[in-house]
C-alpha cells in the first residue's frame, strides 16, 4: 500500500508541475501586473515619471517592460522544484510557493529599481549590468532561495533525483 500511495503522490506532484507549465500565461498575466505597477510606484518616488501601458516614461527616456522583466521563469522554476521534491506535505508546498514567490517578487522589484536608477548614472554600462543581473544574479537568487526554503522546511529530498532513486528501488524489489 505504501508503494501505491507514493505513486499516487508522485503522479499528483507531476500533474501539478505540468499545470504550472501550462499555466505559464496565467502566472505571467498576474505577476506582470504587480511587477509593473510596483516598479512604477517605487521608481516614481525617485524620478518623476508616468506609467503608459507597459512603459515607464521619464522626461528623457522610456523604459518598456517586456515579458523577461517579469522573470516568470523564476517563479515557475521554484514551483517545479517544490512540486518535484518528495517528502513535502501539500500544506508546506503551498507555503513554500507563496513565500518563495513573494521573495522573488521583492528581489525582482529591487533588481528593476536598481537597474532603472543606475541607467541615469551608468548609461554606458547599463546593458552589461542589465544582462549580468538578469542572467546570473536571478539564477543564483532562485537557487539560494530554494536552498533556504528547503532548510527552513527541513526538506531532505533532492528534486527529481530522490524520486528517480525511489522508483529505481521499487523496480529492483520486483
Q: How far apart are CA 161 and CA 119, in angstroms?
A: 42
pLDDT in tens, 78-104: 999 999 999 999 999 999 999 999 999
What is this structure's pTM? Answer: 0.90
C-alpha 90/C-alpha 13 separation (Å) is 9
Higher pLDDT pick, 40 / 119: 40
**Among candidates 159, 63, 168, which has minimal Cα distance to 119?**
63
Give the helix/strand (H/E) hosting 122. none
Q: What is the pLDDT of residue 35?
A: 95
pLDDT tens track for 51-71: 999 999 999 999 999 888 898
Identify the CA nearest to 101 among candidates 84, 81, 85, 86.
81
Please identify which residue in the block is written with the cell numbers 543606475: 118
Domain ranges for the chain: 2-173
Amino acid at each position: 500500500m505504501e508503494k501505491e500511495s507514493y505513486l499516487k503522490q508522485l503522479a499528483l506532484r507531476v500533474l501539478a508541475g505540468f499545470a504550472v507549465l501550462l499555466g505559464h500565461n496565467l502566472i505571467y498575466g498576474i505577476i506582470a501586473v504587480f511587477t509593473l505597477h510596483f516598479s512604477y510606484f517605487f521608481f516614481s518616488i525617485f524620478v518623476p515619471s508616468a506609467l503608459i501601458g507597459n512603459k515607464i516614461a521619464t522626461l528623457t527616456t522610456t523604459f518598456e517592460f517586456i515579458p523577461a522583466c517579469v522573470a516568470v521563469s523564476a517563479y515557475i522554476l521554484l514551483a517545479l522544484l517544490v512540486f518535484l521534491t518528495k517528502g513535502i506535505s501539500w500544506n508546506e508546498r503551498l507555503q513554500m510557493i507563496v513565500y518563495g514567490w513573494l521573495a522573488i517578487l521583492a528581489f525582482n522589484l529591487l533588481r528593476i529599481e536598481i537597474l532603472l536608477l543606475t541607467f541615469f548614472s551608468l548609461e554606458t554600462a547599463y546593458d552589461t549590468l542589465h544582462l549580468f543581473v538578469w542572467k546570473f544574479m536571478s539564477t543564483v537568487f532562485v537557487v539560494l532561495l530554494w536552498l533556504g526554503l528547503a532548510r527552513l522546511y527541513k526538506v531532505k529530498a533532492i528534486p527529481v533525483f530522490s524520486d528517480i532513486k525511489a522508483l529505481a528501488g521499487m523496480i529492483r524489489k520486483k
